[in-house]
DNA sequence: CCTAATGGAAAGTAAATACTTACATTCAGG
DNA sequence: CCTGAATGTAAGTATTTACTTTCCATTAGG
């Protein structure tokens, strides 16, 4: 017999907390504000999570950080594959947008999440690197430092995402489709043989 | 007869504050800690800056955000120019590393600095965009969306810088010279006519 | 309708922290 | 050695804030 009300309340609280953390950071967010924003009594917050840090531990735990499957959809065709990869990458950043924003703002949360974020970055880099290496073996692209090239690819998308995250549309005005289309076009011409 | 002691003390305090802000953010940094780290009495902090916010206002004011001169050294040769630009860009990010780190962490400081940061981003983008347009007119590069291409270039370097800023060498292991060299090589081949 | 689980109201506690006040001390320059 | 600018010492204040305690209200399920 599972009690649903309890879970709903918990979700209301974590959701409210995430909103506030994005705006004000951990230290800048009070438990009273969290309760207000969640529409519950402050006491309820403590009943569910013990203390303030318990809320963010719960948030960090339930955050996915799951990699979308790229491997499965590889077609060994540069343009298709890289476009797909770029799309998945931005989508993935966006799925974790809250967590990224929060973790980069606060040292406490950063310390709890940063191992997992790092792992994710390196996993993603590895996938891309291996893709480049295989394409090289197949003779589709030039001899080049696949690892560095993977890092450059990631940097471009990470940079785009970070600009958008912090400055909205005021820094860059290319939407993500323009961005993907143009960057891939240039990138492909840059690494292709012909 | 200028009193030097006063200025030295001020500098000790702002320097200590910057260090602590990078670690803990504004709300997480106490005036007592600042005083300790600066090696002065807490009261001295208030005597010089009035209140806690006064310290960061002083920091924001004295921060340069000056663009290094790129225009002057243009040679209208893609590889040389872009390498130079990439180098200046990373150097410039690095010069403002403290301020960027602090501003992105805290909403109060962000609100005070973000107009200036935005202006800087857009100025830089404009320079690059105009460079591409001129190179296009001269017939050195392909027909392309110069603005988006400028944004992609910026994104790559911003992303690289942000990875390094937040994760040190644990995310990317290309040093900035590798990064510049390889990204420019790919980029040039991507946009050149031949 | 009863019961147990859940949430709310109100009041309070203890610690942290920005900031103040009053007075003493150091120290460089003339 | 004297003066005044700068800093230190010490004690304190007012507010905020995480967290507690006690008692009461609601509600869902059998």
Q: What is the pLDDT of residue B63?
A: 82
Q: What is the pLDDT of residue A4?
A: 66
Q: What is the pLDDT of residue B67?
A: 66
Q: What is the pLDDT of residue B2?
A: 40
Find the DSSP H helices in B39-106. Answer: 42-49, 52-62, 78-95, 97-105
Using CB atoms within 10 A of its CB, is residue B22 exposed (0-12), middle (13-18) or buried (19+)?
A: middle
Confidence band of B71 (pLDDT split at 50, 70, 90): confident
Q: Which residues contact B34 (CB under 8 A, 6 or more apart)?
A: B13, B16, B17, B20, B42, B45, B55
Q: CA of A162: which chain B residue's CA is closest?
A: B159
- B41, B63, B161, B40: which is closest to A156 by C-alpha? B161
State mean pLDDT over B13-19: 97
State mean pLDDT over A157-184: 97
If you average pLDDT over each of A4-13, A138-147, B29-38, which comes out highest? B29-38
Q: What is the pLDDT of residue A88?
A: 94
Q: What tens digit of pLDDT does each residue of A32-63 get?
A: 999 999 999 999 999 999 999 999 999 999 88
Asked if the model's pLDDT at residue B62 lies above 80, the reply is: yes
**Is the CB of A51 inside 8 Å of chain B's CB atoms?**
no
Q: What tens digit of pLDDT does each residue of B112-135 get?
A: 999 999 999 999 999 999 999 999
Q: What tens digit of pLDDT does each residue of A79-131 get?
A: 999 999 999 999 999 999 999 999 999 999 999 999 999 999 999 999 999 99
Where is average pLDDT lowest: A114-118, B3-7, B51-55, B104-108?
Answer: B3-7
Cβ atoms of B73 and B80 closer than 8 Å: no
Structure tokens at A94: 């966006």
Inter-chain residue contact A182 with B155, CB threshold 8 Å = no
**Is the CB of B121 inside 8 Å of chain A's CB atoms?**
yes
Question: What gap in Å lies between CA B115 and CA B159, rounded to an integer?
Answer: 20
State mean pLDDT over A163-191: 95
Asked if the model's pLDDT at residue A146 lies above 90, the reply is: yes
Distance from CA of B5 to the nearest CA of A (A): 34
State mean pLDDT over A167-183: 96
Confidence band of A7 (pLDDT split at 50, 70, 90): confident
Q: What is the pLDDT of residue B70?
A: 80
**Is the CB of A28 inside 8 Å of chain B's CB atoms?**
yes
Distance from CA of B3 to the nearest CA of A (A): 38
Structure tokens at A95: 């799925």
Q: What is the pLDDT of residue B92?
A: 92
Residue nearest to nucleotide D20 (CA to C1'): A43
Q: What is the pLDDT of residue A191?
A: 85
Residue B149: phi and psi, rounded to 5, are -65, -40
Interatomic separation, CA of residue A1 and C1' of nucleotide C5, rounded (Å): 12
- A67, A74, A72, A117: which is closest to A88 by C-alpha? A67
Q: CA of B170: which chain A residue's CA is closest?
A: A118
Find the helix or strand (DSSP H, E) in which B5 lies. helix B4-24
Q: What is the pLDDT of residue B1?
A: 36
D strand bases under 7 Å from protein CB: 5-11, 16-22, 28-30
Residue-by-residue DSSP string for chain A: ---HHHHHHHHHHHHHHHHHHHHHHHHH--HHHHHHHHTS-HHHHHHHHSSHHHHHHHHHHH---PPPP-GGG--S-HHHHHHHHHHHHHHHHHHTHHHHHHHHH-HHHHHHHHHHHHHHHHHHHHHHHHHHHHHHHTTSB-S--HHHHHHHHHHHHHHHHHHHHHHTTTT----HHHHHHHHHHHHHHHHB--
Residue A120: count of CB within 10 angstroms of its CB: 16
Where is average pLDDT lowest: A36-40, A146-150, B8-12, B63-67?
Answer: B63-67
Chains A and B form CB pairs within 8 A to the count of 158
Where is average pLDDT lowest: A39-43, A67-71, A152-156?
Answer: A67-71
Q: What percent of chain A has pLDDT over 70?
A: 95
**Is the CB of A149 inside 8 Å of chain B's CB atoms?**
yes
Interatomic separation, CA of residue B135 and C1' of nucleotide D15, rounded (Å): 62
Inter-chain residue contact B155 with A152, CB threshold 8 Å = no
Structure tokens at B81: 């120019």
**Is the CB of A188 inside 8 Å of chain B's CB atoms?**
yes
Q: What tens digit of pLDDT does each residue of B138-170 get?
A: 999 999 999 999 999 999 999 999 999 999 999
Q: What is the pLDDT of residue B33?
A: 98
What's the mean per-residue pLDDT of chain A? 93
Taking CA atoms, B156 is separated from A138, A160, B87, in Å, by 27, 8, 13
Structure tokens at B184: 């420019």
Using CB atoms within 10 A of its CB, is residue A75 exposed (0-12), middle (13-18) or buried (19+)?
A: exposed
Asked if the model's pLDDT at residue A69 lies above 80, the reply is: no
Q: CA of B172: which chain A residue's CA is closest?
A: A151
3-state SS class at B141: strand
């Amino acid at each position: 017999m599972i009690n649903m009300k309890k879970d709903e309340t918990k979700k209301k609280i974590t959701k409210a907390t995430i909103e506030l953390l994005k705006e004000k950071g951990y230290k800048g967010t009070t438990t009273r504000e969290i309760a207000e924003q969640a529409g519950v009594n402050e006491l309820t917050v403590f009943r569910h999570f013990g203390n303030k840090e318990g809320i963010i531990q719960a948030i960090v735990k339930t955050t996915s950080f799951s990699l979308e499957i790229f491997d499965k959809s590889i077609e060994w065709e540069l343009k298709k594959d890289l476009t797909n990869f770029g799309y998945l990458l931005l989508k993935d950043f966006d799925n974790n947008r809250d967590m990224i924003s929060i973790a980069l703002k606060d040292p406490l949360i950063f310390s709890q999440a940063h191992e997992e974020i790092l792992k994710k970055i390196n996993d993603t880099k590895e996938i891309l690197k291996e893709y480049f290496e295989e394409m090289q073996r197949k003779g589709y692209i030039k001899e080049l430092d696949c690892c560095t090239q993977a890092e450059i690819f990631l940097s471009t998308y990470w940079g785009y995402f970070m600009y958008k995250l912090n400055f909205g549309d005021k820094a860059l005005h290319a939407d993500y489709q323009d961005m993907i289309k143009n960057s891939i076009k240039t990138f492909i011409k840059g690494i292709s043989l012909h």
